[in-house]
């Protein structure tokens, strides 16, 4: 494979590739390289923070008849808030350092597809690990597993879905957001399918419980079929509709290939996916396709805030002395892990950038990696008043973030890269003329300095 294509592949299924890795990967063919990605992601490594304190409460006498007293609930909520911060940070680290990179990038994708949030660290941690487990598996099994997760039954009110008073929230989002897309079902289909999911619930430990006395045993008519359908039956019927395969392939195409859909490519993907709904087979087909590496698809997607932060961290490992500052940055950039804006998730694409977030994105590399230092212009060039800009930025975004950066790691992995070749490793697209002029006007005293300069360009926002 061409080095450019390997870099493109790793920006899309990961967060970039280091020169030391690129050198090794460039010596093997495409089939072997891509197969290696799937082999590396074969195992599932759950991401967990310590929840032993909550588990101990569940085991103790404080829990009676599957209920908790108000004081115990407050205690659990307090622990959960702290632990969710830990889980957020652990997730960022996992995305940065995992050898199961394809599985982890797919988990990030599915987290914005099967959107869910919960204030219980036990339930949301379990939910994210279910996404991780099924990220490259069978889509039918995946949808069924998600439908029975405690976090989801709470989030979309399946827990309140009873035969005496059906709740349609999950049934609606199952079709609108999770499987078919808007316009491919009727209101009657929603009402009938909601009956099939009655009785879905969970216990305090987050284990699925089917409450048979709350389940509607009557016949339901769904998509022209009639029977005493269960939730699993409804999912089977939905997946029989090829629109489901096309809808999922369209979302995967937008996320991994291009925001602009190529109908021919999506239809080809849907033909592969519809055969058995095997996610690994679908991803392998897409990554092996020549069109995935077309020029029109390279460097054309705006990085999500998480892709932007993890991409920087992958190149120059960075640790926040105050972990909450990492969450603060995510909030400023518009994407906080574990805290989606709504059930539809983040829109992505151009919505990632506005007048505020672009300023922050362009300044963050110098703020986090270079002690907020902005390069001075060469002697004889126009003064850009760097100190004034630095002061203004600090005033707008509060106290300077305190970080520890591992430049030794960067130097080890980039030691064979010439200074002038650094942009070919850090940028996914060509630099425009104004950016070239900006770079030429700045002093370049080291690779480290030039790395920060390149990360401060608009072009670094693309992948």
d(CA 391, CA 387): 6
| 251 and 358 within one domain | no
- The tokens describing 221, both together, are 């008519």
What's the pLDDT score for residue 370?
Answer: 87
What's the pLDDT score for residue 55?
Answer: 86
Quick: pLDDT tens for 356-369. 999 999 999 999 99
Determine, yes or no, domain membership for 168.
no
Place of tokens 């055969």: 275
In the chain, how many domains are there?
3
**Which domain range does residue 7 map to?**
3-40+242-297
Q: Is 236 exposed, middle or buried (0-12, 13-18, 19+ CB in 10 A)?
A: middle
Q: Quick check: 222 pLDDT over 60?
A: yes
Q: What is the share, in percent, of the chain residues with pLDDT greater than 70?
A: 92
Determine, yes or no, domain membership for 404.
yes
Determine, yes or no, domain membership for 222.
no
d(CA 238, CA 222): 9
Q: Quick check: 189 pLDDT over 90?
A: yes
Place of tokens 């090794």: 24
Quick: pLDDT tens for 23-44. 999 999 999 999 999 999 999 9
| 271 and 372 within one domain | no
d(CA 159, CA 201): 5
Quick: pLDDT tens for 130-187. 999 999 999 999 999 999 999 999 999 999 999 999 999 999 999 999 999 999 999 9
Q: Quick check: 444 pLDDT over 80?
A: no
What's the pLDDT score for residue 61?
Answer: 47
| 347 and 389 within one domain | yes
Quick: pLDDT tens for 271-327. 999 999 999 999 999 999 999 999 999 999 999 999 999 999 999 999 999 999 999
pTM above 0.85, yes or no: yes
Determine, yes or no, domain membership for 24.
yes
Q: Which of 297, 313, 335 is the last residue of a domain?
A: 297
Determine, yes or no, domain membership for 287.
yes
Q: At what angle do helices 305-315 and 70-97 cross, to 10 degrees?
A: 60
Q: Tell which wins on pLDDT, 69 or 339.
A: 339
Q: What is the mean pLDDT of residues 57-65?
A: 62
d(CA 238, CA 243): 9
What's the pLDDT score for residue 414?
Answer: 97
| 432 and 400 within one domain | yes
| 403 and 313 within one domain | yes
| 339 and 428 within one domain | yes
Q: Which of 269, 297, 325 is the last residue of a domain?
A: 297
d(CA 257, CA 123): 32
| 451 and 344 within one domain | yes
| 50 and 35 within one domain | no
What's the pLDDT score for residue 378?
Answer: 59
What's the pLDDT score for residue 396?
Answer: 60
| 266 and 403 within one domain | no
Q: Quick check: 14 pLDDT over 80?
A: yes
Q: Which of 117, 136, 155 is the last residue of a domain?
A: 136
Q: What is the share, in percent, of the chain residues with pLDDT greater than 90?
A: 85
Is residue 442 very low, low, confident or very high in pLDDT (cuts 50, 70, 90)? Answer: confident
What's the pLDDT score for residue 384?
Answer: 47
Determine, yes or no, domain membership for 228.
no
| 18 and 80 within one domain | no
Place of tokens 């890269």: 417
| 332 and 259 within one domain | no
Q: What is the mean pLDDT of residues 192-206?
A: 96
Determine, yes or no, domain membership for 432.
yes
What's the pLDDT score for residue 436?
Answer: 84
Is residue 383 very low, low, confident or very high in pLDDT (cuts 50, 70, 90)? Answer: very low
- The tokens describing 180, both together, are 């078919």
Q: What is the mean pLDDT of residues 196-216?
A: 96
User: What is the average pLDDT score of the chain?
Assistant: 93
| 347 and 309 within one domain | yes
Determine, yes or no, domain membership for 405.
yes
Angle at 277 between CA 275 and CA 280, to 5 degrees: 110
3-class SS string, the chain: CCHHHHHHHHHHHCCCCCHHHHHHHCCCCHHHHHHHHHHHCCCCCCCCCCCHHHHHHHHCCCCECCECCHHHHHHHHHHHHHHHHHHHHHHHHHHHHCCCHHHHHHHHHHHCCCCCCCCCHHHHHHHHHHHHHHCCCEHHHHHHHHHCCHHHHHHCCHHHCECCECCCHHHHHHHHHHHCCCCCCCHHHHHHHHHHCCCEEECCCCCEEECHHHCCCCCEEECCEEECCCHHHHHHHHHHCHHHHHHHHHHHHHHHCCCCCCHHHHHHHHHHHHHHCEHHHHHHHHHHCHHHHCHHHCCCCECCHHHHHHHHHHHCCEEECCCHHHHHHHHHHCCCCCCCCCCCCCCCHHHHCCHHHHHHHHHHHHHHHCCCCCCCECCCCCCCCHHHHHHHHHHHHCCCCCEEECHHHHHHHCCCCCHHHCHHHHCCCCCCHHHHHHHHHECCCCHHHHHHHHHCCHHHHEC
């Amino acid at each position: 494979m061409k080095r450019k294509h390997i870099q493109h592949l790793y920006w899309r299924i990961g967060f970039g590739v280091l020169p030391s890795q690129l050198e090794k990967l460039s010596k093997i063919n495409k089939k072997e390289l891509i197969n290696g990605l799937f082999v590396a992601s074969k195992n599932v490594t759950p991401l967990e923070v310590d929840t032993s304190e909550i588990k101990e409460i569940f085991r103790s006498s404080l829990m009676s008849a599957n209920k908790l007293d108000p004081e115990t609930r407050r205690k659990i909520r307090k622990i959960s808030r702290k632990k969710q911060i830990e889980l957020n940070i652990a997730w960022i680290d996992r995305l940065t350092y995992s050898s199961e990179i394809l599985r982890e990038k797919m988990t990030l994708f599915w987290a914005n597809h099967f959107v869910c949030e919960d204030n219980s660290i036990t339930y949301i941690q379990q939910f994210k690990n279910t996404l991780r487990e099924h990220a490259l598996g069978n889509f039918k099994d995946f949808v069924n597993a998600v439908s029975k997760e405690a976090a989801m039954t709470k989030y979309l009110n399946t827990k309140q879905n009873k035969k005496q008073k059906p709740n349609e929230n999950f049934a609606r989002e199952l079709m609108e957001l999770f499987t078919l897309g808007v316009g491919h079902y009727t209101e009657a289909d929603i009402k009938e399918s909601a009956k099939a999911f009655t009785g879905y619930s969970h216990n305090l430990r987050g284990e699925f419980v089917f409450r048979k006395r709350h389940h509607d045993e009557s016949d339901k008519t769904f998509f022209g079929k009639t029977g005493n359908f269960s939730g699993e039956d409804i999912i089977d019927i939905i997946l029989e509709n090829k629109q489901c395969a096309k809808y999922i392939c369209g979302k995967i195409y937008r996320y991994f290939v291009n925001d602009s859909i190529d109908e021919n490519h999506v239809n080809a993907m849907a033909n592969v996916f519809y055969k058995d709904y095997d996610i690994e087979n679908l991803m392998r087909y897409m990554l092996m396709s020549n069109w995935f590496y077309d020029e029109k698809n390279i460097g054309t997607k705006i990085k999500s805030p998480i892709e932007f932060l993890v991409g920087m961290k992958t190149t120059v490992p960075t640790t926040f002395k105050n972990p909450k500052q990492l969450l603060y940055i995510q909030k400023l950039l518009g994407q906080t892990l574990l805290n989606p804006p709504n059930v539809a998730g983040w829109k992505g694409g151009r919505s990632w950038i506005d007048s505020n977030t672009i300023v922050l994105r362009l300044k963050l590399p110098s703020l986090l990696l270079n002690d907020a230092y902005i390069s001075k212009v060469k002697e004889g060039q126009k003064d850009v008043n760097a100190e004034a800009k630095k002061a203004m930025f600090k005033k707008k975004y509060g106290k300077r973030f305190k970080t520890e950066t591992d430049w030794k790691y960067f130097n080890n992995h980039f030691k064979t890269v010439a200074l002038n070749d650094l942009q070919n490793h850090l940028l996914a697209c060509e630099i425009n003329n104004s950016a070239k002029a900006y770079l030429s006007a700045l002093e370049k005293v080291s690779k480290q300095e030039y790395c920060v300069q390149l990360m401060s360009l608009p072009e670094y926002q693309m992948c």
